[in-house]
Structure 1
């Protein structure tokens, strides 16, 4: 358990340093530190204060793991676009094409949905109807727009020759280099050594 906690702290520290090297904005770094604090505190409180058999090490391990996930994902987001990540997972990890395209479609439709919600609210205000953030009517209209967009997207994908479960060629290839493989092996060895050293 102690090894897991120390390994978590090492991962967080390495990710923190990596983000500083990549010149992350101070505002974004503060958000990464303080936004997950609520979730981490909730996990710690649940496992330590509201548990019949409190174990502070276990509580620290699971609460620190939230920061491990947040900081490692931030490192990926800082260096890789969503499109590159989806293509890499499809080409190198053999993620089914329908999932890769589905993720890309969902990510690309978000800005359109935001614009659609603004247009719906503006149209409502022109009729003297204020649609608040929690208004069911706003979300009902937004769902109708999303369904229409999904249908257009499906037609667009099919018109570009997409067929489910068929092998596709890659226009933009994202290969795993020797440097990538070497870095992965190095990180794997370091963390396994940490687990054995701090047992």
Structure 2
């Protein structure tokens, strides 16, 4: 795989989900290590910022420490083996999640899912519209906090009143968003003009299938 080799987001997500389901039911340290190494290799091949990967691993240290000590000190059976399995499994989930979120944008993923697996137009464009409003939501939270300070009230991020007022604002945005989508010709449940379908990436599918086969061989040989 060359420097900028990138799997289609929909295919990558499908592979990640299959691997995640398997490791949920199979106890295998080599299998977990295999997925972690493959995941890190793919992130490096896509030239993901090392700081992002380091931050991802750094944030997980307290969770990994808590998982290790819980199974080692308070578990039943072979405590050390259980600690290794579940701690490595934590990092597998972390890396697999990073494969999807760090190598593709939400828009790329949703459009690709619609193209490959016929995901509903209403769902795809509704989610994209909500994501596009995130910056406005952040700004609205700052406005609400500032207005409250003028009245001598301080809203913290955990204050229920802050989110109640934000939800009320979002209700107004929902109507405006619906009108905007209708003005652009979007009608729920109606057919839309689609771009010409692109052929399935056979090479990518073969590589992902081979990775899954090798992963399952490792699970079969080294599961406990």
**TM-score, normalising length from structure 1?**
0.81
| Aligned length, in residue pairs | 199
Cα distance between partner residues in 2 of 1:33 and 1:25:
13
Note if 1:149 corresponds to 2:173.
yes
Query: Counterpart of 2:11?
Result: none
| Greater displacement, 101-110 / 50-59 | 50-59
Segments of structure 2 that go 5 or more residues without pairing to the other structure are 1-24
Q: Return the offset for 1:79.
A: 2.4
Q: Return the offset for 1:117.
A: 0.8
Label 1:97 to 1:65 Cα distance change in 2 as closer, same or farther (>3 A): farther
Q: Return the offset for 1:110.
A: 1.5
Segments of structure 1 that go 5 or more residues without pairing to the other structure are none
- Return the structure number with greater relative CO, CA threshold 8 A, min gap 6: 2
1:108-123 map, 5 Å: 108-123=132-147
Note if 1:23 corresponds to 2:47.
yes
Q: CA RMSD in A?
A: 2.8
Which string of whole-angstrom CA distances, capped at 9 and with x for unpartnered residues, describes residues 146-172 of structure 1? 222222222323333333344433348
Query: Counterpart of 1:103?
Result: 127
Query: Counterpart of 1:163?
Result: 187
The one of 8, 25, 36 aligned to 2:60: 36
The one of 134, 146, 153 aligned to 2:158: 134
Label 1:151 to 1:38 Cα distance change in 2 as closer, same or farther (>3 A): farther
Q: Return the offset for 1:36.
A: 2.1
Contact kept? 2:39, 2:99, Cα under 8 Å: yes
**TM-score, normalising length from structure 2?**
0.74
Cα distance between partner residues in 1 of 2:78 and 2:186:
54
Label 1:198 to 1:31 Cα distance change in 2 as closer, same or farther (>3 A): same
SS in 1 for 2:171: helix
| Greater displacement, 81-90 / 105-114 | 105-114
Contact kept? 2:48, 2:103, Cα under 8 Å: no
